[in-house]
Structure 1
Amino acid sequence: MKKPQKKKIFYSLILLIFTVIIGVLIIDTYVSSSSSDKIYKETNKIPHKRVGLLLGTSKFLSNHQINLYYKYRIEAAAELFKAGKIEFILISGDNGSKNYNEPKLMKEDLMNKGIPEEKIYLDYAGFRTLDSVLRAKKVFGQNSFTIISQEFHNERAVFLAKSFQINAIAFNAKDVSINDGLKTQLREKLARSKMILDLIFNVEPKYLGKKIVIE
């Protein structure tokens, strides 16, 4: 290959990478700004909703330490319930194998914080945020609920809810320090771009199944 051709390919790749980065950043900013009016940080200011959708995550990190995202989400859900801001908690997480069950562990920890078992419902097929939000509507019959997660995650979840005409608000659990959460924050920017593609191509939840009544 001649030198001018190599240069042309090199500059084309640089331009492509630059374009992708700019596109990811634009989407990231757009998702945040579109969701900001539906997100709450203070318990006394958030409106009452019958159901809180608690988005799952793993309890432990690869080094076997507690996952702070998990810990803070449990605390936020318990806080909302005890303040009377939600009446039921729908836990939506991954139960992709016999040895991995996010909803079950979260339920146990919520009960340890005094949440009655009959007030907790489990969605074992919340493999992605899209699945969790859409299944809350299509399987559990909820078209208005409070999403519970960290702010960066809530922004994406609320954006999804709006896209499916779901009247959702969100409550921010305490966030993790930038040192502990940098990788997660970077992954979130890519997840938002993938979400836009999922919406464009009308991607559906992996599983739906029979309807479950929350009562």
Structure 2
Amino acid sequence: MMHVLFMQWLLFVLLILILFLIILRIQLIKQTRSLIVRQKDPSSYRIAIVLGAGVNANLSPTKVLRDRLDKTIQLIEQGQFDQILLSGGKVRSTSESIIMHAYLIQHGIPSEMLIIDEEGISTFETLKRARTLFQIEQAVLITQEFHLPRAIALAQKLKMNVIGIPADTKKFRFSSLAWWHIREIFAWVWSLVKVNHHSGM
């Protein structure tokens, strides 16, 4: 009997926790909604930050990363940016940011526009380094729409003035999108821990 009651109590606590995390996610989406745009004024926000999203076994960009890079190319061709910060960590003998750089060069983007950050191993690290090392105070974040609320909120906590442009040029399976949204719930909680630790240093 006690075992059954304990399991029921545990299930209740788990459901409350899940509900709390879902509410956090909804609040985050509402909080950042006005900063997610499809187009921007070409005269403002002249620096873009492209967040990494992994590479394949053959060291080519994943479909998610290609999405971000293709959107970046489209915006550069519209004359939207002067500089692009490419952020991604080490991958075997190279780095994700170097692979991103090569992809953009192959698509006709001038090398002098591109800044490589090989130490941006997470969304938080990318934005922290953008603010402290590269002295970027204002920027456009280019990533998928599911990722933008967390990225924008983190940038704000780091005293950056940002907007986000969704890089949703490709279609993804519903199961993949659902998993990414679930992952974002837990990633936001972990990001808050890191931000608070950074603020206390």
State TM-score, norm by structure 1.
0.83
Distance 2:121 2:165 in 1: 21
Q: Structure 1 residues 63 and 103, CA, compared in 2 at 3 Å: closer, same or farther? A: closer
1:187 to partner: Cα distance:
1.2
Q: Structure 1 residues 65 and 142, CA, compared in 2 at 3 Å: closer, same or farther? A: closer
Query: Retained in 2: the 8 A contact 1:51–1:86?
Result: yes
1:199 to partner: Cα distance:
3.1
Number of the residue aligned with 2:103: 109
Secondary structure of the equivalent of 2:147?
A: helix
Distance 1:64 1:78 in 2: 20
Q: Structure 1 residues 17 and 47, CA, compared in 2 at 3 Å: closer, same or farther? A: farther
1:181 pairs with one of 177, 180, 183: 177
Query: What is the aligned-residue identity percentage?
Result: 22
1:194 pairs with one of 186, 190, 194: 190
Q: How many residues align?
A: 199
1:22 maps onto 2:19 in alignment: yes
Query: Retained in 1: the 8 A contact 2:61–2:99?
Result: no
Point out where structure 1 has 5 or more consecutive residues left out of the alignment: 205-215
Query: Retained in 2: the 8 A contact 1:59–1:71?
Result: no
2:62 pairs with one of 60, 63, 67: 67
1:8 pairs with one of 5, 8, 21: 5
Point out where structure 2 has 5 or more consecutive residues left out of the alignment: none
Distance 2:152 2:36 in 1: 8
Distance 1:20 1:198 in 2: 20
Secondary structure of the equivalent of 2:146?
A: helix
1:136 maps onto 2:133 in alignment: no
Secondary structure of the equivalent of 1:140?
A: coil
1:156-184 Cα distance to aligned partner (Å, 9 max, x none): 11011111221011111016342443332
1:168 pairs with one of 142, 162, 171: 162
- Greater CA drift, 185-194 or 73-82: 185-194
1:189 to partner: Cα distance:
1.9
